[in-house]
Amino acid sequence: MAKSLQDKSVQALAASVTILLVLTVLLQPCLSAPSTGRVKTTSSVVKAAQKKPPVWHNPCGALPSGKSLGGHATRHVKPKSIKTVRQQFKITMKHFRNNEKRILNLYTEVKESLGDQIKYDWLPQDQFLWYWNEVRNINDKPQKMAMVLKEFHSSLQEILITFLEMKKFNLEHNEPLHKIRTKLITEMSNKVKQLLCEAENAILNESVGLPDRHTTDIVAWDPNPDHTTVLVQDWGVFALYKNFLQNWQCIMDDLMSKTKRKLALKMCRPLLKTRN
């Protein structure tokens, strides 16, 4: 009886060893081959991130099928396209005005020392002057709207890039200031992204042809700023952003609203003076 049990145990052990050997042979290709599953390694995640286009190149997400990135101005630009952009612009302007006091409080010291001496050549400036001299008197309204849309899109790229570059600098040694600043810049960049998306949709819908895509190379400031320099750079960007919004409010009012045209001229004439 004991011998019979022993023989059965030996047979069971032999069978187990055989099964293990078979499984090892069958699974060997899977064990030795590189993983091709959905779980990505750190290096593959980094590579995927590197291939992803920057947000200002694709502010709306996936490009709609059948939409062209190139092309020339069509003669069928509709006022409705500008109106949609203008509505989103009003939201962006309102957001800035609601936060203007917070900006002034945050940068009071540098504002008083810096004043209006701000020269960031890569950011859009004097755009109502550009519109007045080069666009306003064009009789071909579709051409006029195409020029405005493309200039607006290009300028929004420049601003969004700058806001995103600002976020790379931190003031973590001053935690309360760091949190307020980060939240403010994040909100502003999100609003600009939404506005850029509307401008891009209008351009693609009208087959105007998108302007050139910008890169971070346009930004030219201290790459390793100290605390004070960060605040100075911030204030300069916010001041020029406010000026940008004022200029484009004048452009859109003059372009789209017959009732506001005379008022726009009166309110916006100071913007026709060039900066020193």
Whether 90 has a pLDDT exceeding 70, the answer reads: yes
Whether 5 has a pLDDT exceeding 60, the answer reads: no
Q: How confident is the model at residue 133 (pLDDT cuts 50, 70, 90)?
A: very high
Q: How confident is the model at residue 41 (pLDDT cuts 50, 70, 90)?
A: very low
The C-alpha atoms of residue 225 and residue 121 are separated, in whole angstroms, by: 19
Average pLDDT, integer, range 231-257: 92
In 3D space, the residue among 241, 254, 264 whose CA is nearest the CA of residue 103 turns out to be 241
Whether 123 has a pLDDT exceeding 60, the answer reads: yes
Whether 64 has a pLDDT exceeding 60, the answer reads: no
The token pair that represents 214 in the structure block: 């910008």
Of 19 and 223, which is predicted with more confidence? 223
Average pLDDT, integer, range 112-123: 76
Residues 6+ apart with CB under 8 A from 110: 228, 231, 232, 234, 235
For domain 66-272, the CATH architecture is Up-down Bundle (1.20)
Tens of pLDDT, residue by residue over 149-176, are 999 999 999 999 999 999 998 877 788 8
The token pair that represents 146 in the structure block: 């195409």
Question: 36-50, 195-209, 258-272: lowest mean pLDDT where?
Answer: 36-50
Whether 145 has a pLDDT exceeding 70, the answer reads: yes
Dihedrals φ, ψ of 31, to 5°? -75, -35
Average pLDDT, integer, range 21-28: 40
What's the first-to-final CA gap in the chain, in angstroms? 109
Give the predicted TM-score (pTM) of the model.
Answer: 0.75
pLDDT of residue 181: 93
Helix (H, G, I), strand (E, B) or coil at 98: helix
Tens of pLDDT, residue by residue over 170-209, are 877 788 888 999 999 999 999 999 999 999 999 998 888 8
Neighbours of 235 (CB within 10 A): 21
Q: How confident is the model at residue 275 (pLDDT cuts 50, 70, 90)?
A: low
